[in-house]
Structure 1
Amino acid sequence: MYGCAAAYGVQDKIHATIQRLLTLLGMRTSTYNFDMRIDKDYNVYLMEVAPRDGGNYIPQAIRYATGIDLVECSVKAAMGEKIEIPEHIQPQGCWAYYAVHSLKDGILKQVVIDPEVERNHLVENHLIVKPGDEIHSFIGANSTLGILVMKFDSLEQMLDMIENADRWIQIEYSMTENYISENKGGVKNNYITFIQFRSALVYGTSG
């Protein structure tokens, strides 16, 4: 399971819900992407299932955590080949993908990542924008600025760094502000630099 930092009791419920669905529908071994919600009483609600690995470099993060290559498994399943995966897999370490996005429309100046974080926690950098590109406020996956695959020393460290992401990542961008010039009475373009904090969505897995 990816994207779950919940207690093992809740993870057991999630696993049981998924297994029940697969059994009832007679679904064979392959790769699937599940969306679920958990309420305050820890009831699990299955919202969506799709026959795919998942986007945002989720397969890569899972491969780092478990050694299982979901892309390879998908290809084997499509070709009718046998997929051999241990029944019980214990993730090693804490891994997450971090979806970087902007809070406002503008022109990107730069994405600044703390050098220590880049050195010790950033495993893969998949930013798809460059300085000068037009960026848009986040309304969906199509407005993501890129994905970071990250590792952490502990679950506590992962949650702390994500909760306080403004300590290590900033999005600098310019916005065009139209205003009326008091002197000339005309409209001018004034470029203002903004620094954005708390710029991402994150999901993680831990051992």
Structure 2
Amino acid sequence: MLKKQKKILIIPALDDHVDLINLAKQKGYIVITCDNNPENIGHFYGNVSKNISLLDVNKLISTAKKNRINAVCAFSTDIGAVAANKIARELNMHYNPFEAVEIMASKKLFREFLCANNFLSPKFQVIEKYDQLNLDDLNLPLIIKPTDRAGSKGVQIINEIEGLREKIDFALSYSFKKEVIIEEYIETDFKQVHGDAIVQNGRLLFQCLGDQYFGEGALRFSPIATTFPTTIPIVLKEKLIDELKRFVETIGYKNGGINVEARINKNGEIVFIELGPRFGGNFIPKAIEFACGVNVSKCAFQLAIKTPITISSYNINDCIFQLILRSTVSGKFRSVNIDDKKQFRILQDYSIKNKGDEVTVGDGTGNIISVYIIEAVSKDVSIEIIRNIKNYFNVIID
């Protein structure tokens, strides 16, 4: 009797899901991809594609039942992680406590959880309109974010009260729930810590943490690169990992990736900015794979099908980094001129924009031209490239 072929639902069908899709197919699974954009590249690699919004969880569940899936994986999206966990719970598959995923995917619930469980958190308020804001307990500068979005969408900084209403309205326009969080900005002497972690059976198996760089001017809220490993002092790194372990245990997160964003405040204390219930976007998992040899996509697949993960000892190549090439102006994308390649080599080029595509500035992701995984001749050259991107990558916009 022929063994029935297993099926996995992968949501959404983004470009950074392609490795996961191909791996699942290599392992003999029928891959069903699902999101509300039939042009997403992942659909062209899967076996079956469905045009359903990740916010329409009931329809997703119905589709999962109809196709009798054996596993589900969201990989790199918060919205997808919530939907995937609901699907897994409904089909009695491998899942996390829903409250854990819901809290980690919501900036509001996440901040409330930190405060309730003795984790350090910046002061914050959650509002649905400008008139609800009370600035008496908040100190400038402040950060405004939609509570339910990622990828720097709608993020604004407040250095002065003038123009505050417009900034709040801008952030609200990106929120599905029409809700924003306003929190004190965490000053730090270090780069923001950024990377991915893997949890299986409630145990932190792996973490690869780096330094995250942000742009200037119009890109000051936008990440532009991550280098590995993080350069924070080892005692602070150990403290951060201990706090991450305590978070996993306290919230009850059992299986999955965690995208880590943290800062060290002026007192040397750990402040978690976000701990997303998924792996990082913009090909951070691929950068980690190149830098230390751990195949994060494979680990995500093993988590989805409930297979034990084994991670051998590894070293990090600190000359390998992720570079997010962004445009500072809107228009139509023409090309990228790359100079001085004697100083580095491009290991992977994930082109986001094609010639003639519209480029927009201010929405978090509309200005991304390409994501590169790069190996420089030295760590110093890596930093030089990041600090002076235009000297190496010249984006031509019409």
TM range (shorter): 0.7 to 0.9
1:24 equivalent in alignment to 2:250: yes
1:104 equivalent in alignment to 2:315: no
C-alpha distance in structure 2 between counterparts of 1:169 and 1:143, whole Å? 14
Match of 1:65 among 291, 296, 308: 291
1:124 equivalent in alignment to 2:348: yes
What is the one-letter code of the residue matched to 2:284? I
Partner of 2:262: 36
C-alpha distance in structure 2 between counterparts of 1:142 and 1:12, whole Å? 36
1:49 equivalent in alignment to 2:275: yes
C-alpha distance in structure 1 between counterparts of 2:268 and 2:320, whole Å? 23
User: Structure 2 vs 1, CA of residues 3 and 138 (structure 1 numbering), >3 Å: closer, same or farther?
Assistant: farther
How far did residue 165 of structure 1 move? 1.5
C-alpha distance in structure 2 between counterparts of 1:156 and 1:20, whole Å? 35
What is the one-letter code of the residue matched to 1:59? P
Partner of 1:204: none
Match of 2:374 among 139, 144, 150: 150
Partner of 1:2: helix, strand, or coil?
Answer: strand
How far did residue 115 of structure 1 move? 5.3
Partner of 2:242: helix, strand, or coil?
Answer: helix
Partner of 1:32: helix, strand, or coil?
Answer: strand
Deviations 1:133-162 (CA, angstroms, capped at 9, x unpaired)? 221124312442221111123322211221
| More strand by percentage | 1
What is the one-letter code of the residue matched to 2:333? L
User: Structure 2 vs 1, CA of residues 116 and 143 (structure 1 numbering), >3 Å: closer, same or farther?
Assistant: closer
What is the one-letter code of the residue matched to 1:146? S
Partner of 1:145: helix, strand, or coil?
Answer: strand
C-alpha distance in structure 2 between counterparts of 1:68 and 1:15, whole Å? 18
Unaligned runs of 5+ in 2: 1-207, 212-229
Question: Contact 2:344–2:374 at 8 Å: present in 1 too?
Answer: no
Structure with larger RCO (C-alpha < 8 A, sep 6+):
1
Q: TM-score, normalized by length of structure 2?
A: 0.40
Question: Contact 1:99–1:144 at 8 Å: present in 2 too?
Answer: yes
User: Structure 2 vs 1, CA of residues 141 and 3 (structure 1 numbering), >3 Å: closer, same or farther?
Assistant: farther
Match of 1:2 among 209, 219, 240: 209
Taking only the aligned residue pairs, the percentage that are identical comes to: 22
Deviations 1:83-132 (CA, angstroms, capped at 9, x unpaired)? 1124x643133221111111111122221111515x83211111222332
C-alpha distance in structure 2 between counterparts of 1:168 and 1:149, whole Å? 14
Partner of 2:250: helix, strand, or coil?
Answer: helix
Question: Contact 2:323–2:371 at 8 Å: present in 1 too?
Answer: yes
Question: Contact 2:333–2:396 at 8 Å: present in 1 too?
Answer: yes
Partner of 2:256: helix, strand, or coil?
Answer: coil
Question: Contact 2:320–2:373 at 8 Å: present in 1 too?
Answer: yes
Unaligned runs of 5+ in 1: 175-207
Alignment length (residue pairs): 172
C-alpha distance in structure 2 between counterparts of 1:49 and 1:74, whole Å? 17
C-alpha distance in structure 2 between counterparts of 1:131 and 1:80, whole Å? 42
C-alpha distance in structure 1 between counterparts of 2:310 and 2:356, whole Å? 47
Question: Contact 1:61–1:96 at 8 Å: present in 2 too?
Answer: yes
